[in-house]
Structure 1
Amino acid sequence: MATKTSKLLLISFILVLVAYLFDIIGFSTTYHTVIDGTSFDVHGGLWKQCVTINDVTTCTDIPSSIEDEDWFRSCRALSIIALICFLAGAICTGLKLFALKENKAILIAAICTILTAAICILTSDILLTQNIDDFSFNGFDADYGWSFALTLVGMGIAVIAVVIMIVDLVKGGDWFRSCRALSIIALICFLAGAICTGLKLFALKENKAILIAAICTILTAVICILTSDILLTQNIDDFSFNGFDANYGWSFALTLVGMGIAVIAVVIMIVDLVKGGGNGKVNSNDEEK
């Protein structure tokens, strides 16, 4: 008997495609920052900056004073990773929707990759907001443009899509095996995140990519725990025994506490990442050497 197409999953697939489209437009256009001067306008993105004087617009590469900053390179890298993750998530969702309808692992992969994309966009946009003063031009402060807004909208739509996917995952059967699988994935991601954090702390202190990897893996662990616990709460009646209803125990509570602590750790990591945004400036004395 053919498996019916999930309406919830179809909605989430459409939302992922819309989020991907918004992020592509935001990624490729030159309106992340805008400056409205008295006799000129300036707008820039991740790759080009355009100056309009007397209705004549000239677009050039991002000035080296910005392009060479570590935080700006991180923005670019995170934006590229987000696009790749969006594409991977859309492919996984499409496979689950139209081909591998009984395969829950592909849906979990879609959830994780799309969430990673959302996290990358969030981190990139935080870095930009913390360093927007670098885009000041001739004494005029920069403001946020519609390209920047589109990336945020895409991120929001992606999160909504993930929530719908989790609901669809919860509705399906074979929930207990999914709980086990998600719990194992969470443990692996926690271990990977701890290793990345340790490397950043004690060995690769100047490497921001390793910190971003730590953030992404730990957040993936959090999502896995959350999804696993949602599955358990939705199916706790299956544990009833001799007419007595089951209740939640301290093991379940510990997973929630661990998830909460992990979220706090990630917030601290993001703050540390943002605070280090301006550390990429090259000292003029070093250049002379």
Structure 2
Amino acid sequence: MEGSKFILVGAVLAFCAFILQVIGLASPYWVTYDYGGTKVYMGLWKFCAENTLGTNCADFSDIILKAEWMSAVKAMSIMGLLALIVALGMAGLKLFVMKENKVLQLVAITATFAAACFILISIAVYAANMNDLFPKILKYHFAFAFSIIAMLSAVGAGCLMLKDAML
């Protein structure tokens, strides 16, 4: 029974990672910068400009950032989210339905670490390319930090699930 506490805490961490990744993926606040009195926010899907007249947002498909690297960042972020869903499903099955099935636990562990890798790739590619496009003017915002925390939570969840598998 002692071992199941590790997988339970790992599943809770994976759920936290899932929530943080959803917020990070959907929010237009990965980076911000000031441009002549206008505060500009960018995420993976939207670009918003806020000034005294109000806030205007546009989809990236409508503006200049149609770069291939941005598509790769979106794909890796979505794959990380999907891997977290798989990890949660497998951990839930292991905890509540098929308690003796080790395969479910191994799939949950693998999916959790895969999610962390996908999220790490998306973060690294985004940061590297945005720093090349806008050197020294960008400030990373909360959605970017949420994705980093989601990645770290996924690593922690995977480690706890792995610890449980080794007991």
Match of 2:166 among 166, 170, 178: 170
Match of 2:25 among 21, 24, 27: 27
Task: Note if 1:66 corresponds to 2:65.
Answer: yes
SS in structure 2 opposite 1:17? Answer: helix
Q: State the TM-score, normalizing by the size of structure 2.
A: 0.92
Corresponding residue of 2:149: 153
Corresponding residue of 2:139: 143
Match of 1:85 among 83, 86, 103: 83
Superposed CA deviations along residues 109-149 of structure 1, whole A, max 9, x for unmatched, are 0011111111011011110111114664xx98222111000
Corresponding residue of 1:237: none
CA contact 2:33–2:39 (8 Å) conserved in 1 = yes
Q: How does 1:242-257 map to 2 (within 5 A)?
A: none
CA contact 1:135–1:142 (8 Å) conserved in 2 = no
CA contact 1:5–1:97 (8 Å) conserved in 2 = no
Corresponding residue of 1:8: 6
Distance 1:150 1:55, change over 3 A: farther
Alpha-carbon distance in 2 for matches of 1:122, 1:140: 22
Corresponding residue of 1:104: 102
Corresponding residue of 2:130: 132
Q: How does 1:208-247 map to 2 (within 5 A)?
A: none
Larger RCO of the pair (alpha carbons < 8 Å, separation 6+): 2
Corresponding residue of 1:44: 42
Deviation at 1:7, TM superposition (A): 1.3
Deviation at 1:43, TM superposition (A): 0.4
Alpha-carbon distance in 2 for matches of 1:70, 1:28: 19
Distance 1:70 1:105, change over 3 A: same
SS in structure 1 opposite 2:98? Answer: coil
Corresponding residue of 1:207: none
Alpha-carbon distance in 1 for matches of 2:53, 2:98: 54
Alpha-carbon distance in 2 for matches of 1:84, 1:77: 10
Identity of aligned residues (%): 30
Alpha-carbon distance in 2 for matches of 1:60, 1:105: 45
Match of 2:16 among 15, 18, 21: 18
Deviation at 1:42, TM superposition (A): 0.5
Alpha-carbon distance in 2 for matches of 1:38, 1:90: 45
Asked which structure has the greater CA Rg, the reply is 1
SS in structure 2 opposite 1:30? Answer: coil
CA contact 1:31–1:44 (8 Å) conserved in 2 = yes
Alignment: residue pair count: 166
Alpha-carbon distance in 1 for matches of 2:129, 2:2: 49
Alpha-carbon distance in 1 for matches of 2:18, 2:75: 16
